[in-house]
Homo-oligomer: A and B are copies of this chain.
């Protein structure tokens, strides 16, 4: 169950160019959050940014009662967040949304992340009981790489692709997935990142008949299921289609259910 909380910021630090880590104190969220869930933040009192901003939970420290968010500075909201200081309080709604399915039957998993989509996957790796965990991450170029060490530690292998080849493999992260999918015999693929990437991952998983969950982004009015603005088209059991809510019915979906525009 999500709650409306005023939480204290422990620290805000630059992780890499344009990306910040915010550590927030919260017994409630650190105890209750599950991988794939997000929080919805009112970046300021007043109207400078009116709506909340959704940010995925990247890791939790239950013992210390805190959790980490990683966010990229994009517009007014994330700019305000990046300017917050230790000791400031922020207005947070969370944890929100449907989390990844971490069935213990999934013994061999792949996580496929692109850009700012990698953050919920770190939390997932932390919580997953799988035996083999392979991480495939894609970035625009070497300057955008974050959390490399953390992903390396939390998985059995980490491979990075960059669009411009400035680090790791040059090309798409999905190329690496495609290369390994036969040999690795994954029970489950988890993916989060830009839509073209998710579409490709979905195709690969389908072709090889591997279970796959993807986490989607959509512009949100409320983040908790009330306004129906965050629509995503999915297949119905009757073979038709319907709009469901990314914030409440997702953000994590079984890839086969999603109809990409």
Contacts and interface: CB of A to CB of B under 8 A. Distances in A.
A48 B77 CA distance: 13
Contacts of A48: 44, 46-48
Contacts of A47: 47-48
A48 B80 CA distance: 12
A137 B76 CA distance: 44
Number of copies: 2
The CB with the most chain B CB atoms within 10 A, among A44, A46, A76, is that of A46
Interface residues of A, number: 5
A48 B42 CA distance: 14
Contacts of A76: 46
A48 B76 CA distance: 12
A115 to B, nearest CB: 26
Interface string A33-46: 00000000000101
Interface of A: 44, 46-48, 76
